[in-house]
């Protein structure tokens, strides 16, 4: 008798132990062993495929994040494959590729009812939760509510899908800044979020976009993805050069740096009744020229995360090949290399560092 070999893939275990990353602000990030979680009713167990390291993660680890100040289980930019379903799941199936929307809203408060789930009164975060209730996706497996998982279209690869959550933040910031059709837009900071602001503003119909940054390489990348102009942030005449390239005062400034200097620079670049969108996470309080803000009716708009609609818009941009993945992804590490991956992400913000949890070989 001739032995035969099954062509069926081996089942993925959903019980036993797994690896997961643990971040300790002002200390380090390391791996620990934990039980594979069991999805409760309405929840889904996902095997992680790719997970991005966010700037909020590196800032938290360095002790510079105003809200992430204690131990947490990172991983809020993620894509993976559904491996188990809790009771009552109707929209997803085992084997389906999904991406994570990590901000978990209650669905019942006034802001949720108004379509502003990002401002939910009870908002919590998968992968940014010091209570440790919502463990992040920087692990072999993670659990999420059904409504927080979005199917990935067949035409969108995993490297692109994992950037959708990151893109949704600029999509949201651009949307709440007003109608950008033909608008003059300045983007302060050309890291990952700044570059994705270029993508989002271009999608929204911006007429002219000028970017500033200290890194010439980042400025070049901003031009490649659609910025019309780019000015070194340390140029003594930076404001004059920005306004010259823009063709006049800005309608909107998207501040992805968000310190006192950049916020005051933003106000100086705006026209009367312009909008300053605070996109980056400020490390501390800042003083602004309030008499000018009052007299010119400058709108200072906070921008926090995104809604379900913003995720869908970002996913559509990715589906339409509008997300420049190769310009954004800098490196991919295995989960066992998480400390090195965080080190690179902290040392070089010119590209997104990814974690690929599945064991290789």
64-112 pLDDT, tens digit each: 676 665 688 999 999 999 999 999 999 999 999 999 999 999 999 999 9
Least confident of 11-20, 26-35, 239-248: 11-20
For range 332-344, the mean pLDDT:
93
Residues 175, 194 contacting (CB under 8 angstroms): no
Supply the pTM of this predicted model: 0.91
In the prediction, which pLDDT does 4 show? 35
Give residue 178's pLDDT band: very low, low, confident or very high (50, 70, 90): very high
SS (H, E, C) 28-48: CEEEEEEECCCCCCCEEEEEE
For range 233-255, the mean pLDDT:
98
245 pLDDT above the threshold of 50? yes
Strands 250-255 vs 184-188: parallel, antiparallel or unpaired: parallel
> Virtual CA dihedral for 263, 267, 273, 276, nearest 10 degrees?
-20
In the prediction, which pLDDT does 64 show? 64
Give residue 248's pLDDT band: very low, low, confident or very high (50, 70, 90): very high
Q: How far apart are CA 56 and CA 74, in angstroms?
A: 10
8 pLDDT above the threshold of 60? no
In the prediction, which pLDDT does 11 show? 53
For range 206-231, the mean pLDDT:
96
In the prediction, which pLDDT does 28 show? 86
Q: How far apart are CA 135 and CA 142, in angstroms?
A: 7
**pLDDT tens per residue across span 45-69:** 999 999 999 877 776 666 667 666 5
9 pLDDT above the threshold of 50? no
Strand, coil or helix: 242: helix
**pLDDT tens per residue across span 102-148:** 999 999 999 999 999 999 999 999 998 878 889 999 999 999 999 99
Residues 276, 140 contacting (CB under 8 angstroms): no
Q: How far is CA 196 from the centre of its chain?
A: 9
Burial of 98 (0-12, 13-18, 19+ CB in 10 A): buried
Give, as one character, the DSSP assignment of residue 152: P
Which residue is listed with tokens 């869908």? 312
**pLDDT tens per residue across span 249-298:** 999 999 999 999 999 999 999 999 999 999 998 888 999 999 999 999 99
Q: How far apart are CA 315 and CA 15, in angstroms?
A: 32
Percent of the chain with pLDDT over 70: 92
């Amino acid at each position: 008798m001739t032995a035969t070999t099954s062509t069926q893939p081996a089942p993925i275990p959903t019980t036993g132990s797994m690896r997961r990353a643990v971040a300790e602000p002002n200390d380090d990030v390391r791996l620990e062993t934990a039980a594979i979680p069991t999805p409760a009713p309405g929840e889904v167990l996902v095997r992680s495929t790719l997970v991005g390291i966010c700037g909020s993660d590196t800032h938290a680890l360095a002790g510079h994040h105003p809200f992430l100040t204690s131990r947490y289980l990172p991983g809020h930019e993620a894509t993976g494959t559904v491996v188990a379903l809790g009771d009552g799941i109707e929209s997803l199936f085992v084997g389906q590729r999904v991406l994570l929307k990590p901000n978990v809203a209650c669905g019942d408060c006034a802001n949720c009812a108004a379509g502003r789930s990002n401002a939910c009164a009870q908002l919590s975060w998968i992968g940014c939760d010091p209570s440790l209730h919502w463990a992040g996706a920087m692990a072999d497996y993670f659990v999420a509510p059904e409504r927080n998982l979005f199917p990935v279209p067949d035409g969108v690869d995993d490297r692109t899908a994992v950037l959708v959550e990151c893109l949704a933040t600029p999509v949201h910031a651009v949307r709440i800044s007003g109608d950008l059709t033909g608008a003059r837009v300045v983007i302060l900071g050309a890291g990952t979020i700044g570059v994705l602001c270029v993508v989002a503003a271009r999608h929204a119909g911006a007429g002219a976009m000028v970017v500033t940054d200290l890194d010439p390489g980042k400025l070049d990348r901003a031009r490649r993805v659609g910025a019309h102009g780019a000015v070194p942030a340390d140029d003594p005449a930076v404001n004059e050069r920005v306004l010259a390239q823009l063709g006049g005062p800005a309608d909107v400034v998207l501040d992805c740096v968000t310190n006192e200097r950049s916020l005051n620079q933003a106000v100086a670049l705006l026209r009367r009744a312009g909008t300053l969108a605070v996109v980056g996470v400020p490390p501390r309080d800042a003083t602004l020229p309030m008499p000018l803000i009052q007299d010119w009716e400058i709108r200072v708009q906070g921008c926090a995360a995104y809604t379900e609609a913003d995720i869908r818009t970002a996913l559509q941009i990715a589906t339409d090949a509008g997300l420049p993945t190769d310009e954004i992804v800098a490196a991919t590490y295995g989960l066992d290399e998480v400390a090195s991956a965080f080190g690179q992400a902290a040392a070089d913000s010119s590209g997104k560092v990814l974690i690929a949890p599945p064991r290789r070989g």
